[in-house]
Amino acid sequence: MQRFQHYIDGEFLDGSAQFESLDPATGQPWALMPEARRDDVNRAVDAAARAFNAPEWADMTASQRGRLLMRLADLLAENAPRLAALETRDTGKIIRETSAQIAYVAEYYRYYAGLADKIEGAHLPIDKPDMEVWLRREPIGVVAAIVPWNSQLFLSAVKIGPALAAGCTVVLKASEEAPAPLLEFARIFDQAGFPKGVLNVITGFGAECGAVLTSHPKVAHVAFTGGPDTARHILRNSAENLASTSLELGGKSPFIVFGDADIDSAVNAQVSGIFAATGQSCVAGSRLIVQNSIRDAFLDALRRKAESAVIGPPDEMATEIGPLCTLRQREHAIGLIERSVEQGARLITGGRALDREGFYFPPTILDCSATPDAPCVTQEFFGPVLSVVGFDTEDEAVGIANATEFGLASGVFTRDLARAHRLIRRIRAGIVWVNTYRAVSPIAPFGGYGLSGHGREGGIAAALDYTTVKAVWLRTSEDPIPDPFVMR
C-alpha cells in the first residue's frame, strides 16, 4: 500500500500512528495515512507560530507573497492530472470531474496572488487637531484550516490562498476520510519556495487532532468547512483561545423551476446540481421545487436522465456516477429514504444500494409533494438523492424554499426577469443562481445563512477575514503635551 506523511515545518514526517484509507470503488484498503495526535498538532502549530514571526515571512513584502502564490498556482496546474488521479482513487469522485476542478483551482491561487498587495488600510479624517490617524490591515496570525474530503483542493485553496495573501501562516487539517490529495499537495507546496512552517498539512481524528488544533492557544482564526454538529464543537473549542471563526456548513438548497422556464436547460442543471459529484456537494440542489403545471413532464425527463446515467469505476472517463466516499454515507442515505417512504414519500427511481463491490448508490428521486416535512426534504443526504415538492404560486415557492434551517445556495429557473429579481430578494441564501447552477469563481464570495454558517470564502471578503485592523495615531504638533496635573 502507498504511504503518506504529514508536512510540518518544511519536513515530511510520519504521524504518531497510522490508519488505512479505503478505495470507495472496491471498499478495500489502498493506502496508509499518518494520524496526528496531540504532539503532532502542537509541533505543527508551533512551526506556524515561529514562521509567522520569523523575518523570512514577516518581513516579506505583499508583492513577494503574491509571487510565491503565483508560483504555487503554476505548479498546481502542472501537477493537476496527478492530483486528480489521486483524488479519484481516494474519494471515488469521477476522473472527469476531479480533472476539471483541480485544473481550475490554480485560478484561485492566481487570484489571491494578485490580491496580496491590494489589501489596503485607510486614512481617517479625525476630529482632533494636529493628529494623523490611519488604519493598517495586518495578518491575524496562525490559521487552523479544516476541510472535508469532498472538493478538498478547492476548499483548501479558498482558505490557504487568502490567508497567505494576507500574511498569515496555516495549519491545514485534511479530513481523515480520503486525505491523500492534500498530503500530496504539500509536496507541491514545498517546491514553491515558501519559508518553512508557513503551511503545515496534517490529518487525524476529532478528539486527538481537531479538538487540540481548534483550541490551541497559538491559533488566532479557525476556517472550517463541514457539518453543523462539528461546527458546534469547534465553537466550543474556540472559547479556549477566543479564535475568530469562518464556517461553511453545507445546506439543503432549493432548486425552483417555474412553468415558463427553459425545461431542457433546467433539467440539465438539476442533473448537474444533484447528481454531479454523486451528490456529495455542499451546494447540491437537493430540493426540487417545481411548478405543478410542468411537474409531471419535468419529473419524467429527470427520471429518464437519472436512469440513463453511466454508473461505473470512477477512473474511467465514460463514468458519470461514481461511488460514494464511505459506506457510512450510503447507510445514512438508505436510512433517510426508508423513513421518508414510511411517512408517505413516493420513490420514483433508485433508492437501493447496487449489487456490486464498493460504495455505489444510484441517482434517486423522491416525490414529496404530499409529505413536504419528510426527512428527505429537511435533512442533508450528501448523496445523489433529490426530493421533489410541487407548488402553484410564487409565494408558495418562496415559502417552501425558505422552510429550512440552512441557507447556502439556491437556484431559480424562469424567463420572467421581474420574477427572478423578486426571488433574489426574498430567498434566504448566500448564493442565488438564476437560470444556471453550481457556477463558481475566485472573484465571487461563497457562504451562507443560518446553519450554513457565517463568513465568506472567495473574493476580497475572504482575504479580509484573515486580517485585523490596527489604528495608528500620530501627533504632528511640535508643541509639548501639556502637563495633565496643571490646571489651566
As a whole number of angstroms, the distance between CA 480 and CA 338 comes to 80
What is the C-alpha separation between 409 and 37, in angstroms, rounded? Answer: 35
CATH of 254-428, one of 2.40.110.10, 3.40.309.10, 3.40.50.1820, 3.30.70.1060: 3.40.309.10
Model confidence over 103-156: pLDDT tens digits? 999 999 999 999 999 999 999 999 999 999 999 999 999 999 999 999 999 999
d(CA 367, CA 376): 10
pLDDT in tens, 169-188: 999 999 999 999 999 999 99
pLDDT of residue 72: 98
Which pLDDT score, from 0 to 100, does residue 333 have? 93
- Residue of 54, 35, 40, 49 whose CA lies nearest to 8: 40
**CA torsion angle for 454, 234, 205, 15 (degrees, to 10)?**
100
pLDDT at 488 over 80: no
* Confidence (pLDDT) at 66: 98
Catalytic hit among 35, 177, 248, 457? 248
What's the pLDDT at 280?
Answer: 93
| Predicted pLDDT of residue 331 | 94
Residue 1: predicted pLDDT: 86
Which grid coordinates are listed for 444?
465571487
10, 50 Cβ separation under 8 angstroms: no
Per-residue pLDDT reduced to its tens digit, 59-109: 999 999 999 999 999 999 999 999 999 999 999 999 999 999 999 999 999
User: With contact defined as beta carbons under 8 Å apart, do 173 and 230 qualify?
Assistant: no
pLDDT (tens digit per residue) in 346-400: 999 999 999 899 999 999 999 998 888 899 999 888 899 999 999 999 999 999 9
Whether pLDDT at 468 is above 80: yes
Query: What 3-state DSSP class applies to 408?
Result: coil
The answer to whether the pTM exceeds 0.85 is: yes
Are 214 and 144 in contact by the 8 Å Cβ rule? The answer is yes
120 belongs to the catalytic site: no
275-321 pLDDT per residue, tens: 999 999 999 999 999 999 999 999 999 999 999 999 999 999 999 99
The pLDDT tens digits for 250-275 are 899 999 999 999 999 999 999 999 99
Confidence class of residue 487 from pLDDT cuts 50, 70 and 90?
confident
Q: How many CB atoms lie within 10 A of CB 203?
A: 27
CA distance 345 to 388: 9
The number of CA neighbours under 13 Å toward the Cβ of 218 is 18
C-alpha cell at 23: 478505495
Residues in Cβ contact with 29 at an 8 Å cutoff, skipping those fewer than 6 apart: 1, 20, 21, 22, 23
| Right CATH for 2-250+444-473 from 3.30.70.980, 3.40.605.10, 2.60.120.280, 2.40.30.10 | 3.40.605.10
Exposure b/e, 16-27, CB count within 10 A at least 16 = b: beebebbbbbee
**β strands within 109-161, DSSP E:** 122-124, 131-139, 142-146
* Residue boundaries of the structural domains of the chain: 2-250+444-473, 254-428
Task: State residue 79's pLDDT score.
Answer: 97
**In which element (H, E) is residue 154 found?**
helix 152-166
DSSP state of 235: H
- Tell me the pLDDT band of 478, cut-offs 50, 70 and 90: very high
CA distances from 101 to 3, 83, 93, 98, 339 (A): 25, 11, 11, 5, 35
Rg (CA), the chain: 24
pLDDT digits (tens, 9 = 90+) for 331-346: 999 999 999 999 999 9
